[in-house]
Amino acid sequence: MAKEDLLQIIDVDGTYDSKLEPKLPAETLLRGYRNLVLVRVLDARMLSLQRQGRIGFYVPSEGEEACQVGSTLALNKEDWIFPAYREPGCALTRGLDLKLMIALEYANSLDVNKGRQMPNHFGWRSINFVSASSPVGTQIPHAVGTAWAAKIRGEALVTLAYFGDGATSGNDFHVGMNFAGVFKTPTVFFCKNNQYAISLPLSRQTAAKTLAQKAQAYGFEGVRADGNDLLAVYAATKAAADKARAGGGPTLIEAVTYRMGPHSSSDDPTRYRSAAEVAGWTRKDPLERMRKYLELKGLWSAEKETALRQELDALITDTIREVEKAPPPAIETLFTDVFEDLTPVLKEEMEAYLKSGERRRPEVLDKFPL
């Protein structure tokens, strides 16, 4: 993969191309870095909680943080995000309360989904963040449809759909790309090419030289960006969103990155990739790259790094403690949320169940310290 094919602004040592560098305020750069670190620290804690049995399942983002944070920073608040299941950084960058995200992992009464959605399948109307689903690529036509509706209504908004390299082999990718190209919908297709669709490598996914070039068949532009470079991701997304908002139609962004951890807490990546491969990508770590860039800009230091890590560790610990105190969702919502008004049969079933049902706090929560 030739380096010149990628939009890259920050190199692995933190040096940068001042001609390509977006002129973002220091506050935005620091906010972006804080969210990168927040996702990384949160990942480590959530995986630890899953291993302890405190939560049931987790999908980590290690290595892909810049894709999430950089792209979200480039959007307007009225824009809609259609995520896959590995986009916590997008929601947090949009200002989501960390407590709501952690509550989803516990599926308790603080969870807005009331325990009826899989962990990591984030979705919150308050931040225009559509709930993710497990089937690969199903969010792509949804993003295109919403963009088409906005265009008909004359609304100046953009939709952004996230998906992995594996989704480009699916029917929903073709349907969404084709419709968007024909009707020039204001859609940004953001492909996180993290080299693997769970265990299937990119070389077995497509014979195309790049994923970005697939956009040409649908009549619009495809661009490639270094997905471990927050500024490159921001610049590519901002250009695509601005073009879409101005009526220029869709863009496919191929963000070249790497999933440094497992696909999920149920995966063992050592079975299908080598330690040498992981080590090579670890040297391209998006957090290290952004940290070195901020240091060269005079915006960061070792002391600030230590303080940030301590702050975020304490924030996550306190939030977990608060969330774990919450009871399970009210059991009657299994019945009351089916119809606006309870049917006689549902009412009878609910009353019978409430007389016999019992919910207990999992004992495992008391076995392990935070």
Residues tagged active-site: 259, 263, 272
DSSP states along 47-95: HHHHHHTSSS-----TT-HHHHHHHHHTS-TTSEEE--S--HHHHHHTT
Considering only CA atoms, which of 47, 91, 45 is closest in space to residue 65? 91
Considering only CA atoms, which of 227, 224, 229, 225 is closest in space to residue 289? 229
**Residue in the structure block whose two tokens are 């960061």:** 300
Give the list of residues 6+ apart from residue 300 with CB closer than 8 angstroms, or none.
30, 33, 291, 294
> 313 vs 39, 49, 64, 78, 310, CA distance in Å?
11, 14, 20, 31, 5
For residues 47 and 60, give the distance between their C-alpha atoms in angstroms, rounded to a whole number.
8
φ, ψ of residue 224 to 5 degrees: the values are -120, 140
Q: Please, what is the Cα angle at 232 between 227 and 236, to 5 degrees? A: 95
For residues 247 and 156, give the distance between their C-alpha atoms in angstroms, rounded to a whole number.
9
